[in-house]
Amino acid sequence: MRTANLHEWMPITGFGRTPMLMDRRFQVRECGVHWKVPRGKRVALGDAEVRFEPRMHSDLTPRRPNRVIRTTIDIAVIPEERKTLRELHEDYVTPLHDLLVIAGGVPDALVYESVTIGRQRPAVVLETRIDPPTRDWPRPDRQLLFYALDIPDFRAALQRWFALHARVSPALQYFAESINEDKYSHARLLSVASTLETYHRSLYDPIWRRTYKRKNPNEKQRGPSLLERIAHLQHLSGVPESTTGFSEARRQLFVASRNHFAHLNKPRYGYSTQDVYDNAIPSIARGVALVQACVMRRLGFTARQTAERIELIYGHLVRQ
């Protein structure tokens, strides 16, 4: 499989230092391009091996007036047992695509998907394609949230991601789809709220209940509200509230917005309907930032590393 942003996310090219000779007037007299086959990455899962494989396409015909080397990255998944096309797509393609969308924080598209058995020719099975905006990289003005080479332990992180995706799906899939739509809409706020709720319920609900029972032994046992879930996730992320923008007041605004868009009722916590609509864009950005912060911590990033990347990408939005 291959996505539009995969190579930018894992920029392993094989290009070395470009030798160049210039004269006293700084005109180039001699230059060259050095390329060597780079090593990819292999990750063993419980039932398959995932390979990130660098590729190179060249046009080095000596009679042409130019020389071209194009590099890319493919992901190959080799399962231990044969599976149907739907199983292969759901078990491997969807989690990997969702990871790339969430890690990038920008729309991405699956541009190539094929299957093969043994040495047979591959059969292209790509069903749908979303054309993302064209991106030139590197782009210092619009970086991805984090890159493959930034992850502290890539193999362990990918294993954790597949386990996380299995537990929290389909919420993470819907969250990735909302990023791909690239719109700040009421539907997106509902999707982000559902992701936060499902993420907490799937991973931390028992911890919250035990803590609540210990602190309130005489009260009837109950589950956490959405506001309490978000506050707990904010605490667990280790990222400052100033980074995600999710102070107590803004968490209340987010929940009031979610309830209004879902049920069309009057916003709670002292907010008006106008407050909800005026702050919809930063509310969505804060929710997205918290989801991505939780995912980054789950993949092995420290709280400081996570805060730095969130601040770089969302700082101007969450503080509105």
For residue 132, the model assigns a pLDDT of: 66
Q: CA geometry: angle at 298 spanning 296 and 301, to 5°?
A: 50
Average pLDDT for residues 111-132, to the nearest whole number?
Answer: 83
- What is the band of 66 on the pLDDT scale with cuts at 50, 70, 90? confident
Asked, as a colleague might, if the bond just before 38 is cis with ω within 30 of 0, I would say: no
Backbone angles phi, psi at 22, to 5 degrees: -125, 155
* Nearest CA among 92, 89, 82, 234 for reference residue 158: 92
Beta strands in the chain (DSSP E): 2-3, 20-22, 28-31, 41-44, 48-59, 68-79, 110-112, 114-115, 123-124
Beta strands in 116-258 (DSSP E): 123-124
For residue 130, the model assigns a pLDDT of: 61
Tell me the C-alpha distance between 161 and 43, whole Å.
12
pLDDT score of 62 more than 80: no
For residue 307, the model assigns a pLDDT of: 96
Greater confidence, 56 or 142?
A: 56
Tell me the C-alpha distance between 192 and 176, whole Å.
10
Q: Which of 98-107, 130-139, 203-212, 232-241 has the lowest mean pLDDT?
A: 130-139
**Residues 252-303 pLDDT 10s:** 999 999 999 999 889 999 999 999 999 999 999 999 999 999 999 999 999 9
pLDDT score of 21 more than 70: yes
- What is the band of 190 on the pLDDT scale with cuts at 50, 70, 90? very high
For residue 221, the model assigns a pLDDT of: 84
pLDDT score of 317 more than 90: no
- What is the band of 128 on the pLDDT scale with cuts at 50, 70, 90? low
Q: Which of 22-26, 61-65, 104-108, 134-138 has the lowest mean pLDDT?
A: 134-138
**Residues 221-256 pLDDT 10s:** 889 999 999 999 999 999 999 999 999 999 999 999
Q: Cα–Cα distances in Å, from 113 out to 4, 10, 77, 251, 318? A: 12, 18, 11, 40, 36
**Residues 138-185 pLDDT 10s:** 777 789 999 999 999 999 999 999 999 999 989 999 999 999 988 899
Confirm if 273 and 125 have CB atoms less than 8 A apart.
no
